């Protein structure tokens, strides 16, 4: 489980653009808090762990904090473009279940620096790796 968690921390810290060690500290800075919210959402989507176990992995956070993080990502996405990009990136990985796709997205996140170019790069790669009907089939 530590490998899955460390992969998740690496992916989310690269996605959000923060230091993984700083992200896990008890700091209310918006970018770090967003990273922690995204990490909780990622762990919930990509593992079968409960809120309590995810909270334990994230430094002993309460299960209600993890629940709040997941809800915040889901409910903020429709009206917050940045959160939407983060959520779509995590959801796309969940749909694809493709290690090569994940590695390619991580590479792009290291190359592109601004949020808009990151989002465009991720969308290009997802379109390249995911079959057109695969996304529609997963939704139904």
Question: Residues 78, 86: contact at Cβ < 8 Å?
Answer: no
Q: Write out the residue range of the structural domain in which residue 38 sits.
A: 2-139
pTM score of the predicted model: 0.66
Q: Look at residue 140 and tell me whether its pLDDT is greater than 60.
A: no
CA–CA gap between residue 140 and residue 126 (Å, rounded): 19
Q: What is the CATH number of the domain that holds 121?
A: 1.10.1750.10
- Find the angle CA(127)-CA(90)-CA(77) to the nearest 5 degrees: 100
| Model pLDDT, residue 96 | 47
Length of the chain: 140
Residue 87 burial by Cβ neighbours in a 10 Å radius (0-12, 13-18, 19+): buried
| Model pLDDT, residue 93 | 73
| Model pLDDT, residue 103 | 63
Helix-, strand-, coil-residue percentages of the chain, each rounded to 5? 80, 0, 20
Task: Specify the number of domains making up the chain.
Answer: 1
CA–CA gap between residue 5 and residue 58 (Å, rounded): 9
Q: Look at residue 63 and tell me whether its pLDDT is greater than 90.
A: yes
Residue 26 burial by Cβ neighbours in a 10 Å radius (0-12, 13-18, 19+): exposed
Q: Look at residue 10 and tell me whether its pLDDT is greater than 80.
A: yes
| Model pLDDT, residue 8 | 86
Cα atoms in the 13 Å half-sphere on the side-chain side of 38: 30
Q: Look at residue 105 and tell me whether its pLDDT is greater than 70.
A: no
Average confidence score pLDDT of the chain: 79
Q: Look at residue 90 and tell me whether its pLDDT is greater than 90.
A: no
Cα atoms in the 13 Å half-sphere on the side-chain side of 119: 11
Q: Sorting pLDDT into bands at 50, 70 and 90, what band is 45?
A: confident
């Amino acid at each position: 489980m530590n490998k899955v968690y460390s992969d998740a921390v690496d992916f989310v810290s690269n996605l959000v653009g923060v230091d993984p060690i700083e992200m896990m500290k008890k700091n209310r800075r918006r970018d770090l808090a967003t990273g922690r919210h995204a990490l909780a959402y990622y762990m919930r989507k990509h593992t079968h762990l409960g809120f309590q176990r995810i909270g334990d992995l994230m430094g002993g956070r309460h299960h209600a904090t993890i629940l709040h993080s997941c809800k915040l990502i889901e409910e903020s996405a429709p009206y917050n473009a940045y959160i939407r990009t983060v959520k779509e990136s995590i959801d796309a990985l969940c749909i694809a279940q493709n290690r090569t796709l994940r590695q390619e997205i991580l590479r792009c996140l290291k190359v592109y620096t601004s949020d808009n170019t990151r989002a465009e790069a991720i969308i290009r790669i997802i379109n390249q790796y995911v079959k057109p009907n695969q996304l529609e089939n997963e939704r139904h």
